[in-house]
Amino acid sequence: MSGALYLGVDGGGTKTRFALIDAQATLLAEAQLGTTYHPQVGLDGVRAILAEGIEQVLTQVDAGREAIRQAFFGLPAYGEDSRATARLQSIPGDVLGHARYSCDNDMVCGWAGSLACADGINIIAGTGSMGYGRRGAASARAGGWGEAFSDEGSAYWIAVQGLNAFSRMSDGRLPRGPLHGILREHFQLGEHDLDICAHVYGEGHGSRGELAQLSPLVSRAAQAGDPVAASIFERAGHELAAIADALRINLDFQAGEPVPLSWSGGAFSAGDALMGPFSTALHAASPHFTLHAPQHPPHYGAALYARLLAH
């Protein structure tokens, strides 16, 4: 393989994706591995995933690490713990064997992919949730304080709200809707609904990423007419719109100025169940939000951003 290569890495709470492009932004190779969320896999786990993913994409184009002119690593929880961030910053250099790279939070990948590195706001609702935007030289983030007390509107948050609704339906605090049966079927529960606790709290179960993967079941219940499941997505849409509006204000978009907005993350696979209330809440906050369907996936966006940084 001849010519400069640009590497993008989009870390996440469930998976990490790698993209390799050339100077013309042609996608040459890609790979997908597990999470690089260091509170879950540890810093050594992050290093192992990055090393394997880089090796996979370089093997596909028969190139060595020296061919990577610039790389960008978007890593979950980067910037949220000063001590861990310093370690995360150094790991890619150890793996690449050179210093032609930059690191930031994975929120940058969502923005770079969805808006192709142009000014505007991107709302991420994957395993976690947050927003990131740029306007000229200014940048800002909002949300994304972690699953213990934030990440509103994320797949994890939706799943936890769904589990909470299941418990209330089971013991009579809420009327039983389709959500109850969908979760019973998914977990193959027998006589006792309380057996769901073993799937959430039991050894080897209940990781952040694993629970987030339950959000499509809540979406299926909403589509089946479950009003409680629908209300979860209603609240999620409002929470994500609040993140977007905070960024609009923090980035100092002026009165009457269009505010380009896009989105990324698996929670949006719920379709209109989430996009409907999200869009309604956005335009209630400001009529100047202009919605733009994502142009590229985040891992390709990370590679585009690496190319931009190199120039």
Residues 71, 185, single domain; the answer is no
Residues 256, 300, single domain; the answer is no
Distance CA 79, CA 77 (A): 6
Residues 136, 108, single domain; the answer is no
| Nearest Cα to Cα of residue 60 among 23, 103, 5, 14 | 5
Residues 265, 130, single domain; the answer is yes
- Give the predicted TM-score (pTM) of the model: 0.93
Distance CA 179, CA 310 (A): 49
Residues 306, 263, single domain; the answer is no
DSSP the chain: --S-EEEEEE--SSEEEEEEE-TT--EEEEEEEE---HHHHHHHHHHHHHHHHHHHHHHHHT--GGGEEEEEEEETTTTSSHHHHHHHHHHHHHHHSSS-EEEEETHHHHHHHHSTT-SEEEEEESSSEEEEEEETTEEEEEE---TTT--TTSHHHHHHHHHHHHHHHHHTSS---HHHHHHHHHHT--S-GGGHHHHHHSTT---HHHHHTTHHHHHHHHHTT-HHHHHHHHHHHHHHHHHHHHHHHHTTPPTT--EEEEEESGGGGGTHHHHHHHHHHHHHH-TTEEE---SS-HHHHHHHHHHHHH-
Report how many domains make up the chain: 2
Position 1 scores a pLDDT of: 60
Residues 20, 96, single domain; the answer is yes
Residues 132, 212, single domain; the answer is yes
Q: What is the pLDDT along the chain (311 residues), one digit of tens a residue?
A: 668 999 999 999 899 999 999 999 999 999 999 999 999 999 999 999 999 999 999 999 999 999 999 999 999 999 999 999 999 999 999 999 999 999 999 999 999 999 999 999 999 999 999 999 999 999 999 999 999 999 999 999 999 999 999 999 999 999 999 999 999 999 999 999 999 999 999 988 889 999 999 999 999 999 999 999 999 999 999 999 999 999 999 999 999 999 999 999 999 999 999 999 999 999 999 999 999 999 999 999 999 999 999 98
Distance CA 181, CA 13 (A): 28
Residues 202, 273, single domain; the answer is yes
Q: CATH number for the domain including 49?
A: 3.30.420.40
Strand partners, 73: 9, 103
Residues 95, 125, single domain; the answer is no
Residues 163, 127, single domain; the answer is yes
Position 177 scores a pLDDT of: 98
Residues 134, 274, single domain; the answer is yes
Residues 267, 304, single domain; the answer is no
Cα-Cα-Cα-Cα torsion 82, 86, 88, 93, nearest 10 degrees, comes to 170
Domain hosting residue 61, numbered range: 5-116+296-310
